[in-house]
A and B are shown apart, each in its own frame.
Chain A
Amino acid sequence: MTDRERNGQRDRGERENPTPKEAGNREKDAGEAKTKAAAAAKAKAAAAGKAKAAGAKRPSPRKKKKEEPLEPSPKQPLLDQYVQTVTEKVGKETVEESYINRPNGHLPSMVIKNDRWAETARLLREEESFAFDYLQNLSGVDYEEHMEVVYHLYSMKHRQGLCIRVKTDREGASVPSVTEIWPAAGWNEREVYDLLGIDFPGHSDLRRILMPDDWVGHPLRKDYEPYDREV
């Protein structure tokens, strides 16, 4: 899958409103929904409202927000502000992409350019309007054509979360370390290095953490060949 396709999917997720439709379908006919949900539901945005009225009995508050498919997310202004601040302070083209992850509780998300990440991270931690002092999660993903490190940050001051994604090439994968900014990243970066082989320059103690020290390969890479297929 290419980048564009993936973005496309994400756009669909934003633009349309598959869920109430899907939920409605399922509640009417589970068997039908099973086959249709993936394909049919996504194509018909217009039908969403109708299906919802027919099917969903107890809509959750989150779904109410999405009744109008094109209504902008309540977090959109916040995200715009984030992007603006980062662009101003770090430089143009720092933010490669930004979007609201709607199913994930309208989580503002940004894709940050790899070579600007160290600077941006410091900004996110220290700038008053960000004050992201809590690194909740750090994960690595192998998208086959590139790798990504995903940071889920939270600001205790503003009570707001943020998802940051930093891309890197598969060959010689490398993302600047943020251990200086969030010590919590220490073991998480070691884990990502161990399982995905992403280097974190700036990490003081980048060793394998879960696998044995003499292990060959990085198991979570998609091209990893298991020691024994059958196991």
Chain B
Amino acid sequence: MVIVKRKELSLAERLYLPEVFRALSITFRAIFKKKVTRQYPEERLVTTAVTRGQPRLVLLDDNQHLACVSCGLCEIACPAYAITIDGAETERCIEREPKRFEIDMLRCILCGFCEEACPKDAIFMSDELELADFSRAALIYDIEKLKRPRAALQPRIDYFYGANDRWRKRSSTS
């Protein structure tokens, strides 16, 4: 048990009113200061390539098939167990594609491990951050909700490779 010692109040504090006016003066001074709140959703956060938003799946240049081959590395890298993948055989040259690719956005912690684990450049962190719906089931995103054309993710892809190159240079010299 901890005994918390109360602060001894001075005469001015015990008189009550001076303290009320001191508090009000702080409030009034804040009116003339620069605002720190943002008027969401009219004013949005500026996102850059560095922003790690929700993961999204990259479509191939034909804008039809996913780059994902359902290798399962993001699934196993995911520390929040948010990803579930089931593979299936394709008729294309790439023999395998995901039949089911689900990310539970309520579990996703936006860590970006999936992006780093992916050997096929098929999953990248987008700048999409908003997440709201009326049911939990609707927030388990499937392929239809996750797929994006490559162009939409291009800034992040470029940043990702630039950052990796910098890291490689540093690690090879050290």
Chain B binds chain A: no
A interface residues (Cβ-Cβ under 8 A, vs B): none
Show the binding face of B for A, using Cβ within 8 Å: none
